[in-house]
Structure 1
Amino acid sequence: MKQPPIAKLYEAYSAIADQRVQQLDETHWQITSSDTAQYYTVISSDAAQTFSSNDNATYWQGYAGYPILAVWLALGILPINQQVLPAFEKINWHARNEAVHNHYEQAINQFLSEQTDDMAKAIQQSLADQMSQLATFDFTIKRNRSPKK
């Protein structure tokens, strides 16, 4: 599995914090974007060893985009750090990323600068640990052609 950039995990945490992940049935989820302008579809198959999504990162780059990561957090495949979760509420990553011309690291640094020093450190450590976990995952990631809404 191709490793996603850490920025996608930040976006996934916000989707969980804002309760924008909706399970439609056993294999389908709908994830609302941070600006609420779009919905993405995540589908699992092959006994949940394969996940597909129609978000741009998954579709064009071939790694698990934030909608898949958000589903993994919701399912407990990737454990949620409840201590840092409230910091991710109401963060419009779309607007933040656009403001810095998709230099995701700048958007993350801006977000972290808005936190207390202790919270910023806890977020960075927690998400770094989760990125290490992701590196051990053996899932198949595919793009799906479900229309974005």
Structure 2
Amino acid sequence: MAAEWKPSPVIKIYEALGAVADGRVEIDGDTARVASSDKAKTYDVRHDPAAGSITANDNGSYWQGYLGYPGIAYLMERGVLGYDRSLAGELAGVPWKQLATEYRNDWAKVEKHVRDELSGRGVDLDRFDAGLAEISGQLEKLGLTKLSPRLRPPKS
């Protein structure tokens, strides 16, 4: 039996919403290519809906064992995961790679930075958090397993 994914960190849902809002998800049937926020890398996603399996070659999916933002963004674009489009719009244009570099991959600090910006723009963070929790709950209910073979992450 294929292994299940670990729960995805909430920051990966933020990133997925940003990827969708920025139009960085290119779907071709049960596969997709998802560009990074700085467009320096493109990640591959493969999905087997009948088997309830998915794989992606981003670092989180490959090394950490949770489904990373490219896989989550693909599921949003395919309509497998429902989401509030206005939430995605709030995350359009966020320079994730730049923030990760600036905060030395401390995702709690990246999340605080993004939340401070959202709050400064008048975004209702309670509504925002409810939307994130809804997506996270849907993802968990899907119980997706890891699709083999796995591809190594792209080099920069």
TM-score by length of 2: 0.86
Is residue 122 of structure 1 aligned with residue 127 of structure 2? yes
2:96 paired with 1:93: yes
Separation of aligned partners in 2, 1:85 and 1:147: 25
2:150 paired residue number: 144
Shift in Å, 1:147: 6.5
Q: In the TM superposition, what is the alpha-carbon distance from 1:79 to its structure 2 partner? A: 0.8
User: What residue is the counterpart of 1:28 in the other structure?
Assistant: 31
- Consecutive unaligned residues of structure 1, counting only runs of 5 or more, are none
2:63 counterpart residue number: 60
Aligned identity (percent) is 29
| Cα shift at 1:141 | 2.2
> In the aligned structure 2, how far is the partner of 1:124 from the partner of 1:117?
14
Secondary structure, counterpart of 1:22 in structure 2: strand
Q: 1:106: which partner in 2?
A: 109
Q: 1:37 to 1:114 in 2, by over 3 A?
A: same
Equivalent residue of 1:51, what SS? strand
Which structure 2 segments of 5+ residues have no match? none
Indicate conservation of the 8 Å contact 1:4/1:63, yes or no. Answer: yes
Matched, 1:51 2:54: yes
Write the letter of the residue equivalent to 1:138: G
State TM-score, norm by structure 1.
Answer: 0.89
Aligned residues: 148
Return 104-113 or 10-19, whichever deviates more: 104-113
